[in-house]
Amino acid sequence: MAFHGGLIGVILSTLLFSFKKKINFFIVSDLVACAAPIGIFFGRIANFINGELVGRITEKKIGIIFNHIDNFSRHPSQIYEAILEGLLLFLILFFIQNKKKIIYKNGLISSFFLIFYSLFRFICEYFREPDPHIGLQFFNLSLGQIYSIFFFIIGIVLFLKKK
């Protein structure tokens, strides 16, 4: 629950900050949501460099061998996540924020962040090796996918309220 737990922590601290400074929570959360993909991108690149959160074994040519793990070719899932959860998510949020025809409401960017991050994470989890001590859960989904479903639903509800 590293990222998802961190997200809960960011939401709670943003709530506390907003309450203390008497600022609309969604103004602050939208600012955080715009900046978060940049940190996610660099975090996933660091995971790749450190050989952390390795992908599942693959026969594809795109596979990478992480010698400190084993000698199997594995999906570079960290790169997939950096591209989708970092770069692509940043571009989507940037486009939405700068779209002049969209009637902007506070919280809209936050809802899109939750929706697209969850969607991209859900997809990337199919290429990422599950934690050995946790494994796969219900319907062969990883814990990250289950948490992503939860945040996806929250994002959709927020979007429908802010639309």
User: Domain coordinates of the chain in residue numbers?
Assistant: 2-162
What is the chain's Cα-based Rg?
Answer: 17
Question: How confident is the model at residue 134, as a pLDDT?
Answer: 74
Q: What is the mean pLDDT of residues 31-49?
A: 95
Comparing 85 with 53, which gets the higher pLDDT?
85
Q: What tens digit of pLDDT does each residue of 94-112 get?
A: 998 887 666 668 899 999 9
Q: Which long-range contacts (CB under 8 A, 24 or more apart) does 59-64 make?
A: none
Whether 1 shows a pLDDT value over 60: the answer reads: no
What does the mean pLDDT of the chain come to? 91
Report the pLDDT value the prediction gives residue 18, as an integer from 0 to 100.
Answer: 96
**How confident is the model at residue 136, as a pLDDT?**
67
pLDDT exceeds 90 at position 135: no
pTM for the full model? Answer: 0.90
